[in-house]
Structure 1
Amino acid sequence: MKQYVIFLFLFSFSVSIQSQENDPIRLFYLGGQSNMEGFGYTKDLPDSLRSNYDNVWIFEGNPVPDEAQNGGKGIWETLKPGHGTGFTSDGKTNTLSNRFGIELSFAKQLQKLYPNEKIAIIKYSRGGSSIDSLAAGGFGSWEPDFQGKSGINQYDHFLTTVNNALKTTDIDENGKKDHLIPTGIIWMQGEADAAFTEAIALRYYDNLKRLMDLMRATFRTDDLPIVIGKISDSWNSDVGKVWKYGELIQYAQEKFARTDTNATIVRSTRYYKYSDPWHYDSIGYIDLGKQFANAIYALCKQ
């Protein structure tokens, strides 16, 4: 049986404890593929996003292909630039990269929306990964039942990331046990499922719904708010249209946001410029983080 059954048993952590002596911290999960992993350059960051993330912590799981044994390793640390593509962790030391994703502007905007509250971010994202196993290639699949060669896939790495993150019960090291409050899932993915066949793209809605239901179950919150980032296409001058079945994925994403009572979608991606045929430029990631923060806040206020 998959490890997520064991994980759900282990998940009886401080979320279920209501003692006022515990330290309340809002918990957000960031997941998906490369445009969640982050291809912004830290050298492009404005001074306002380089530091001053007081009361914001991040646990990023080591992103690796399916089959790898070291996926999901990480440690909690105060948020800072460097959690984009190229980030690695061996579970003892985080090695930051010269890239960033949405996490910086996302956290900065959350600090404004939730003043004086503590924020925890769990991130696991893998560039090129699909949900459908037939679109995984060498990047990986989020299909929970995909066995591959060893039975380890991106969903397993997600579970390992969350499990490892929640082993620490005092992430801010203030001597109080954390009361982590699952507040939202932010999901930026779908490009890989748009790149292969019409049949794969047509399965995306069902695949996305099942995956989001399982992620909600992992955080033991059936109606946990979810924000989906709508994929877009660069229409690169060299290759033309990049995602052959992108419109089908966009339709599925819109359908999910329309039919799930506690989900919404961010559409600002259609206006972003690209640093290459597949990835937004630094300005795009900064805006996307803000849009995600505003969207999850609005959902939580409903």
Structure 2
Amino acid sequence: MRQTLITLIISFLFPVLGYCQQIKKDTIKVFYLAGQSNMEGYGYNSDLPKSLKQPFKNVYIFHGNSVPDGDAKGGFGKWEILQPGHGVGFSSDSQNNNLSNRFGVELSFAKKLQEYYPNEKIAIIKYARGGTSIDSLAAGEFGSWEPDYKGLNGINQYDHFLTTLKEALNTKDINADGKEDVLIPCGVIWMQGESDAAYTEAIATNYYNHLKRMMDLFRASLRADDLPVVIGKISDSWNDQDGKVWDYGELVQYAQEKYVKTDKNAKIIRNTRYYKYSDKWHYDSEGYIDLGKKFAEAIHQLNINK
């Protein structure tokens, strides 16, 4: 009788142990990077220091395919180890990531985060597209993030963001180590506003309302109403015939400052005013490296203060 009982207990226990092993999970901090070209990244991989010129252990990136409004292929991607090549020119079809010879803020951002979270895994979700505005009236040929904008075929940049997020979060094991990953949203990094500063005074004046709504929607999509947000303040190279590249840049800058002043879980990076440019629109490689560090410092501070 006793032997029979032991046999029954063992036969019940082994499946339970096996199940417990199967449901063991990894918790990974995830950060979302979004915006237009200075988030997309125009730094040259050849300018990178050795510390950033290699794959990052324990840092993973899902980079959504960047396309114009109306293109159904927007947002597709594949989780991979972070390495140089996630700047302008990157593309993905969800099966293969095609790295470019450019980088953005993601490398120095990850490097700095590793100092704050040693021995922890970090995940980055990125979707950015050069030239895009929030206001649909400033979309031009590049695209609009305005959620209600129908655009071409009813698809806009916000839709590409949603696809990126859905595809990234649908992957249960992002590093393929056999453990299910639980991604914990830890912040949104937003570098955008130049296009909204380039058209009319009315568009630039309305930037605060558009920015607030955009960040509210990002937070809702990531299911965290108090999710930290860091804004990169737009700047001007002053390399244009009339001097200013962004004719209404001060209005957008004011809106960005107003946003972080009225949102206790937001910060702004102002160092952009000191960066050098590789052309009249984009920072040089050194600027992207510094901006990534500053983004990491700010988002870490916001998470400490939550």
Residue correspondence of structure 1 range 60-99 to structure 2 within 5 A = 60-99=63-102
Does 2:227 correspond to 1:224? yes
* Equivalent residue for 1:184, pick from 143, 167, 187: 187
Structure 1 CA distance, aligned partners of 2:203 and 2:296? 30
Q: Report the counterpart of residue 5 of structure 1 in structure 2.
A: none
User: Where in structure 1 are there 5+ consecutive unaligned residues?
Assistant: 1-18
How many angstroms does 1:149 deviate by? 3.0
Return the alpha-carbon distance in structure 2 between the equivalents of residues 183 and 296 of structure 1: 8
Q: Offset of 1:174 from its aligned partner?
A: 1.4
Q: How many equivalent residue pairs?
A: 284
User: CA RMSD, aligned part only?
Assistant: 1.2
- Aligned CA distance change for structure 1 residues 97 and 239 (closer, same or farther; 3 Å): farther
Over residues 251-299 of structure 1, what are the superposed CA-to-partner deviations in whole Å (9 max), with x where a residue is unaligned? 0000000001100100000000000000000000000000000000000
CA offset at residue 249 of structure 1? 0.3
Tell me the secondary structure at the aligned position of residue 131 of structure 2: coil
**2:236 aligned with 1:233, yes or no?**
yes
Number of the residue aligned with 1:208: 211
Alignment-derived partner of residue 5 in structure 2: none
Counterpart position of 1:118: 121
Q: Corresponding residue for 2:258? A: 255
**Structure 2 letter corresponding to 1:181:** I
Q: Paired residue for 2:167, among 159, 164, 188?
A: 164
Q: Distance in 2 between matches of 1:39 and 1:186?
A: 17
Report sequence identity in percent: 68
User: Partners in 1 of 2:240 and 2:221 — Cα distance?
Assistant: 42
Alignment of 1:279 onto 2:282: yes
Contact 2:90 2:97 in 1 (8 A): yes
Q: Which runs of 5+ in 2 are unaligned?
A: 1-21
1:115-173 CA distances to partner (integer Å, 9 max, x unpaired)?
A: 11110000000000000000000100000000123110000000000101111100111
Aligned to 2:18: none
Q: Which residue of 2 aligns with 1:43?
A: 46
Question: Is the deviation greater in 43-52 or in 81-90?
Answer: 43-52
Give TM-score scaled by structure 1 length.
Answer: 0.92
Q: Normalising by the residue count of structure 2, what TM-score does the alignment of the two structures yield?
A: 0.91
How far, CA to CA, are the matches of 1:284 and 1:27 in structure 2?
A: 24
Kept in 1, the 8 Å contact 2:55–2:84? The answer is no
Tell me the distance in 2 between the aligned counterparts of 1:163 and 1:22: 20
Kept in 1: contact 2:205–2:251 (CA 8 A): yes
1:291 equivalent in alignment to 2:294: yes
- Secondary structure of the corresponding residue to residue 112 of structure 2: helix
Secondary structure of 2:268 counterpart = strand
Change (3 A) 1:118 1:60: same
Which aligned runs of 4 or more in structure 1 are off by greater than 3 angstroms? none
Deviation at 1:98, TM superposition (A): 0.4
CA distance change for structure 1 residues 20 and 258 in 2, over 3 Å: closer, same or farther?
A: farther
CA distance in 2, matches of 1:118, 1:272: 31
Quick check: 2:69–2:157 contact (8 Å CA) kept in 1?
yes
